[in-house]
Amino acid sequence: MRIYCSCGAKGRIASREPLSAAFTKLYCQCLDPECGHTFVMKSPL
């Protein structure tokens, strides 16, 4: 799965938390050092 920040740069999944058998909460970080945005996404498995 590819993760992108709202600035358009690639992001990485720093950690994840299972919410149920169908969904996971993904804690992400932007890889652009000038941006440094952190964000949370919900993703189906």
**Cβ–Cβ < 8 Å for 13, 5:** no
State the pTM of this model: 0.82
Q: What is the pLDDT along the chain (45 residues), one digit of tens a residue?
A: 899 999 999 999 999 999 999 999 999 999 999 999 999 999 997
**Cβ–Cβ < 8 Å for 39, 28:** yes
Question: Per-domain residue ranges for the chain?
Answer: 11-44
Burial 6-44 (b: 16+ CB within 10 A, else e): eeeeebeeeeeeeeeeeebebebbbeeeeeeeeeeeeee
